[in-house]
Amino acid sequence: MYTQLQNRDVDRPPVTLATLARMRAEQQKIACLTAYDASFGRLLDEAGVDVVLAGDSLGMVIQGHDTTVPVTMDQMVYHSAAVARGLRRALLMTDLPFMSYTSPQQALTNATRLMQDGGARIVKLESGASQLQIVEFLAGHDIPVCAHLGLRPQSVHKTGGFRVQGREQQAAERMLADARALEAAGADLLLLECIPSALGKTITEAVHVPVIGIGAGPSTDGQILVLYDILDITGGRKPRFVRNFMAGAGDCAQAVQAYVEAVRTGSYPAAEHEFA
Ligand code: KIV
């Protein structure tokens, strides 16, 4: 049982939370991408992506909804399990969808499903001060947790749309305080979405756990993007932080390899992908 993962591929040992902590300590950038099925899971894994997120963005890019709100637990389990079958090295993180973590007990039940049936190694929830008790409860049951701050897509109907967060001083200070509190509550990773680069840097320097950014500037410990955005197959207007890695690539595998390389070397994100 214990060696099931460790022995899968001795040349490419599986990524764990300890791997990510070491990468942060050694200032080696962490490359993360979303995937929703086994074929892309395998392609990302082979391209050297460190963390694969079975994200609830599947509600938009797979199901065609205009937000992530309609995504259900059953759908997350289904897609997470599919991605898990494609992975050998990468760490699988899976989103707890909208309204699946309204109480500590509900969060524990659903996180358990994502890990047992969905193959997740860490669960992600969109968080702020009101989720502290939930993060603490999950951490107290040894469930690895990533706390997602900044633009929280599950809350767009309340917050007024997909907008840059933390531009005003008060909001920035609240986000910094939330980040520190979530770390203290037991979050193993933080994910910052769509915030000014300066705030991304401040939060990354203020905490001790690895910080992954999407539209949060170059100073976070790692970067994540939605796979279909970098492959340029998402319709409509793209967010400022998206770069098309298919441009100049011969196929999807080359595009993903170019993304991993760009994250590792720091050539992505560039100034044009940042928010002030
Ligand atoms: O669901 C998702 O794809 C995400 C990313 C935007 C980080 O949460």
Question: If you average pLDDT over every residue of the chain, what do you get?
Answer: 95
Round to whole Å and give the CA distance between 132 and 240.
31
**Pairing state between β 91-95 and 222-225:** unpaired
What are the structure tokens assigned to 147, written together?
A: 């706390």
Q: Which numbered atom of ligand 1 lies nearest the CA of 126?
A: 8
Indicate if the pLDDT at residue 242 is higher than 50: yes
55 Cβ closer than 6 Å to some ligand 1 atom: yes
* Ligand 1 pocket check for 57: Cβ under 6 Å: yes
pLDDT of 205-228, one tens digit each? 999 999 999 999 999 999 999 999
Q: What residue's CA is closest to ligand 1, atom 8?
A: 55
- The count of domains in the chain is 1
Tokens of 21: 């902590």
pLDDT tens digits, residue range 38-47? 999 999 999 9
Residue range 109-130, pLDDT digits in tens: 999 999 999 999 999 999 888 8
Distances (CA, A) of 275 to 41, 72, 87, 123, 166: 30, 31, 33, 27, 11
CATH number at residue 125: 3.20.20.60
What global pTM score does this model have? 0.96
Q: What is the mean pLDDT of residues 14-23?
A: 98
Centre of ligand 1 from the C-alpha of residue 3, in Å = 30
Binding site membership of 56 for ligand 1 (Cβ less than 6 Å): yes
Distance 193 CA to ligand 1 centre (A): 9
Q: Confirm or reject: Cβ of 229 under 6 Å from ligand 1.
A: no
Find the 69 Cα to ligand 1 centroid distance in Å.
13
Pocket probe for ligand 1: among 193, 226, 241, 263, the residue whose CB has the most ligand atoms within 8 Å is 226
Give the lowest-confidence range in 6-20, 22-36, 150-164, 260-274: 6-20
Backbone angles phi, psi at 119, to 5 degrees: 75, 10
**189 vs 161: which has the higher pLDDT:** 189
State in Å: Cα 10 to ligand 1 middle.
30
Residue 49 near residue 87, CB atoms below 8 Å: no
Parent domain of 41 = 3-273
Going from the Cα of 96 to the center of ligand 1, the distance in angstroms, rounded, reads 11
Atom of ligand 1 nearest to the CA of 68: 1
Asked whether residue 67 carries a pLDDT value surpassing 80, the answer given is: yes
Q: Give catalytic residues, as residue numbers.
A: 193
- Which is nearest to 187 in space by CA: 138, 246, 238? 138
What per-residue confidence (pLDDT) applies to 6?
A: 52
Substitution candidate for ligand 1 out of 146, 191, 211 with most atoms within 8 A of CB:
191
